């Protein structure tokens, strides 16, 4: 399905079709073998998820991958948000992915340590709506593991859409040793949904590294006093109540928005800010558990 999408994208079409035929069982077995072979070369798989949209999950994924690569770790970033992919934009990636001689997709290279795969890199028209049902999305996620030349990696970061539907479930089933990082904002509306994500992790037996509280506070540019735009402390309270590790709290920083639009994650920049210091703490709290 992915190879068909790439070929059609280069020919001007972006509508993939599901493969079928009498050899389906044999193809599925080959795919499972390819998935295991690909995953065996990746040391740590971190699944970034959230209960609702708008909490900054993709920006956390992008900056986490950027920070790990900057520290020298061989890092992959897999964007499986089919209907709202944003990772390519956040990392300044354009164009269609190429296919290697052995018929594997070649990830987009951000720097010497970071490579990225996104459904957006399968589409010729970046504004084209992707209208897929569950089986097509499930097939894409599996092929993002089996049909991509990831090579040897220290970390694979997986960015999925919010909620507990097809994509997160397929990630867990395809990558059973993935470790979850749950992103929330401090207000109760977000926390109510994040508790569903925690329930999802427990139900599917996804080990969770902890909770990240995003957009916690905003420093007033006039008086430098912190302003709690979305309340405060909710992420930490939820982590304690659910028996999970609180990985840290990230302040609201407009530079994250600017950097995302420019395609250069904040963690690639050398300037030290409240955001970068807070994010470094989170990265440390994640890596020390591994």
219 is in an annotated binding site: no
Return the closest-CA partner of residue 48 out of 167, 178, 145, 182. 182
Contacts of residue 70, defined as CB under 8 A and 6 or more positions apart, other chains included, come to: 113, 267, 268
The CA distance from 244 to 178, in Å, is 16
199 is in an annotated binding site: no
Q: Do 87 and 159 contact (CB within 8 A), yes or no?
A: yes
Q: Which residue has the tokens 């800010």?
A: 273
243 is in an annotated binding site: no
163 is in an annotated binding site: no
How buried is residue 277: exposed, middle or buried, by Cβ count under 10 Å (0-12/13-18/19+)?
exposed
- Whole-Å CA distances, 71 to 37, 109, 280, 286: 26, 16, 11, 14
67 is in an annotated binding site: no
196 is in an annotated binding site: no
Question: What would the two tokens of residue 12 be?
Answer: 């001007």
Please give the annotated binding residues, written as ranges: 51-58
Please give the annotated binding residues for ATP, written as ranges: 51-58
């Amino acid at each position: 399905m992915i190879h068909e999408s790439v070929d059609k994208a280069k020919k001007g079409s972006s509508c993939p079709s599901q493969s079928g035929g009498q050899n389906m069982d044999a193809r599925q077995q080959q795919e499972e073998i390819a998935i295991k072979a690909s995953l065996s070369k990746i040391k740590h798989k971190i699944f970034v998820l959230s209960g609702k949209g708008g909490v900054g999950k993709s920006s956390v994924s992008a900056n986490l991958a950027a920070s790990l690569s900057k520290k020298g770790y061989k890092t992959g970033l897999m964007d499986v948000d089919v209907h709202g992919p944003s990772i390519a934009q956040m990392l300044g990636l354009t164009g269609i992915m190429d296919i290697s001689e052995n018929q594997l997709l070649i990830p987009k290279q951000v720097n010497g340590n970071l490579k990225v795969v996104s459904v957006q890199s399968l589409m010729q028209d970046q504004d084209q709506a992707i209208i897929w049902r569950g089986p097509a999305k499930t097939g894409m996620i599996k092929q993002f593991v089996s049909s991509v030349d990831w090579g040897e990696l220290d970390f694979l970061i997986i960015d999925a859409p919010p909620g507990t539907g097809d994509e997160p479930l397929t990630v867990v089933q395809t990558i059973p040793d993935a470790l979850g990082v749950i992103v929330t904002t401090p207000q109760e509306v977000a926390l109510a949904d994040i508790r569903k994500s925690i329930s999802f992790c427990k139900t599917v037996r996804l080990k969770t590294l902890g909770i990240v509280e995003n957009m916690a506070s905003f420093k007033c540019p006039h008086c430098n006093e912190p302003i709690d735009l979305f309340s405060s402390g909710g992420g930490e309270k939820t982590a304690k109540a659910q028996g999970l590790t609180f990985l840290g709290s990230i302040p609201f920083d407009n530079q994250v928005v600017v950097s995302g639009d420019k395609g250069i994650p904040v963690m690639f920049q050398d300037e030290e800010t409240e955001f970068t210091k807070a994010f470094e703490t989170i990265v440390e709290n994640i890596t020390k558990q591994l």
